[in-house]
Copies of this chain bind each other. A is one copy, B any other.
Amino acid sequence: MRAKKVDINRWLDRSKRNGERAKRLALLSQLSQVLNSTLDPKEIRRRAMEAATRLMKAEVGSLLLVNEEKHRLYFEVALGERGENLKMISLNLGEGIAGWVAQYGKPLVVNSPEKDCRFFKGVDERTEFKTRNIICVPVRVKEKIIGVLEAINKKGKGKFNQEDLSLLISLADQVAIALDNSRLYQELEEMFFQTAKSLADAIEKRDPHTGGHTQRVTRYSQAISKYLPLTHLEKKWVKITSVLHDIGKIGIEDYILKKPEPLSPKEFEIIKRHSKMGAEIIEHIRPLREIIPGVKYHHEQVDGKGYPDGLKGEDIPILAKIVAVADTYDAMTTDRPYRKAMDKKIAIDELKRCSGTQLDGEVVKAFIHAYQNGEI
């Protein structure tokens, strides 16, 4: 009977362990879904560290990323009570538990950090945090270590064990995949913006009067949109609209574009076609249909005296109103062949004066807000 009893206890124990393991694996699966359901790198990093904390039942979790140029590890994000203090700290590769893991690419459980010569007391000292135990694994993208994921202080009186280690390794693999997908997405987005920007610049260069105009209008528009109630996506459209707002000038002939003297009324009518022509080009780019109104109407005025359609007030789309303010300010504050650039302050007064007639009042307010905060 004695043998039997031992068996029972062993079975009970194993059953409990397996049940516990299944629960934690289900949690891992759920956390990895959360991790992968965004392509925003900052959000992925936050979720990664939150997931490590939950999955490890730890007091604090953190993600450190390798900065290759500086050969250092930076606390990207850190949660938990003392997380904020961690953000200021970075480690050399090889320094501390995290530095060791990043350098050798091996996972590590340290349940008595004070006895481990790799443990770096500096972090605890600076954060007034007492590390009782620590579990740390490498985050690897295509054989390259891009960082480490760690959890500190198992809640209760427990220690980190092999089971924890195997779960955290799985989580780190998911984190690596999510970060890599987001990197690919960011790179493609960067390629899109840079290409649109460079082609717009090249097109703009045909007009000798407007060096750098597109870039400045883009900067001003982005500053304005920070002070308007726009979504993240709408802000992206603002950026793209301002990059491409003058694209229609490609259709205006040299003899008008490059004319040093003031234009004749007839020539001015031709120049005015550029906003509509720009919209026609954008119409061929289906994924950019959102910005067609912005490009087409960036010379409309709220009093209806603009072009091409003489739209009034609320009929003018917000994207167009934003570009109009940025565009007007840039025209006033840069030299033209027939007049000097206006002083910034006088230009601001001019914007205020035109607010509600030529320009939208709310957008002018947002512009002034950005200007006062030194963003323009």
The docked-state distance in angstroms from the alpha carbon of A19 to that of B205 is: 69
- A250: CB under 8 A from chain B? yes
- The reply to whether A287 and B26 contact each other, CB–CB distance below 8 Å, is no
Chain A count of residues within 8 A CB distance of the other chain? 58
Residues from chain B with Cβ under 8 Å of A199 in the complex: 196, 199-200, 203, 247, 281
Q: Mark A202-230, 1 if CB is under 8 A from B, else 0.
A: 11011000000000000000000000000
The docked-state distance in angstroms from the alpha carbon of A8 to that of B11 is: 9
How many copies of this protein are present in the complex?
Answer: 2
Residues from chain B with Cβ under 8 Å of A19 in the complex: 14, 18
Q: Mark A306-335, 1 if CB is under 8 A from B, else 0.
A: 000000000000000000000000000000
- A112: CB under 8 A from chain B? no
Residues from chain B with Cβ under 8 Å of A161 in the complex: none
Binds B, one of A120-128, A186-194, A259-267: A186-194
Residues from chain B with Cβ under 8 Å of A11 in the complex: 8, 11-12, 15
Residues from chain B with Cβ under 8 Å of A200 in the complex: 199
The docked-state distance in angstroms from the alpha carbon of A110 to that of B275 is: 60
The docked-state distance in angstroms from the alpha carbon of A287 to that of B26 is: 40
Binds B, one of A32-40, A80-88, A146-154: A32-40
- A89: CB under 8 A from chain B? no
With A11-B8, A11-B15 in contact, is A285–B202 under 8 Å at CB? no
The 5 A-B pairs with the shortest beta carbon distances in the complex, nearest first, are A15-B15, A25-B25, A18-B18, A191-B287, A254-B254
20 contacts between A and B (CB under 8 A): A8-B8, A8-B11, A14-B15, A15-B18, A18-B22, A25-B25, A29-B32, A32-B174, A33-B170, A36-B174, A188-B188, A194-B287, A195-B287, A195-B288, A198-B281, A198-B282, A199-B199, A202-B251, A202-B281, A205-B250
